[in-house]
Amino acid sequence: MATSTGANPAHDWSAAQYLKFEDERTMPARDLLARVPLQSPKHVVDLGCGPGNSTAVLESRYPNAHLVGMDSSPDMIRKAKTALPHREFSVGDLTSYSPKEPVDLFYSNAVFQWLKREERFSIIRKLMETQPSGGVFAVQVPDNLMEPSHVLMRETARNGPWAGTLANIDRDTFQSPQEIYDELKPLCSAVNIFHTSYYHALESHKAVIEWVKGTGLRPYLDPLQPEEKEEFLRDYLKRLEAAYPVSVDGKVLLRYPRLFVVATKK
pLDDT band per the 50, 70, 90 thresholds, residue 26: confident
Tell whether 196 is covered by a domain: yes
Strand partners, 201: 253
Q: How confident is the model at residue 20 (pLDDT cuts 50, 70, 90)?
A: low
Q: Is the pLDDT of residue 201 over 80?
A: yes
Give Dmax (Cα) for the chain. 55
Output the pLDDT for position 52.
Answer: 93
Please tell me the total count of domains within the chain.
1
Q: What is the mean pLDDT of the chain?
A: 92
Q: Quick one: average pLDDT of 17-37? A: 82
Structural domain for 168, as ranges: 9-265
- pLDDT of 4 strictly over 60: no
Alpha carbons 119 and 112: distance in angstroms, whole number: 9
pLDDT at 170: 86
As a whole number of angstroms, the distance between CA 40 and CA 67 comes to 12
Residue 3 placed within a domain: no
- The H-or-E segment that residue 47 falls in is strand 43-47
Model-wide pTM > 0.75: yes
**CATH code for the domain in which residue 234 is found:** 3.40.50.150
pLDDT of residue 214: 79
Check whether 165 has a pLDDT greater than 70: yes
| Radius of gyration in angstroms for the set of CA atoms belonging to the chain, rounded to a whole number | 19
4 within some domain: no
Residue 174 included in any domain: yes
Q: Coil, strand or helix: which one is 175? A: coil
CA angle 132/133/137 to nearest 5° reads 75
Does residue 204 register a pLDDT over 50?
A: yes
Angstrom distance (rounded) from CA 194 to CA 158: 33
Within-domain flag for 2: no
pLDDT at residue 112 above 50? yes
Residues in the chain: 266
Contact 105/138 with Cβ under 8 angstroms? yes
Within-domain flag for 40: yes
Per-residue pLDDT at 252 exceeds 90:
yes
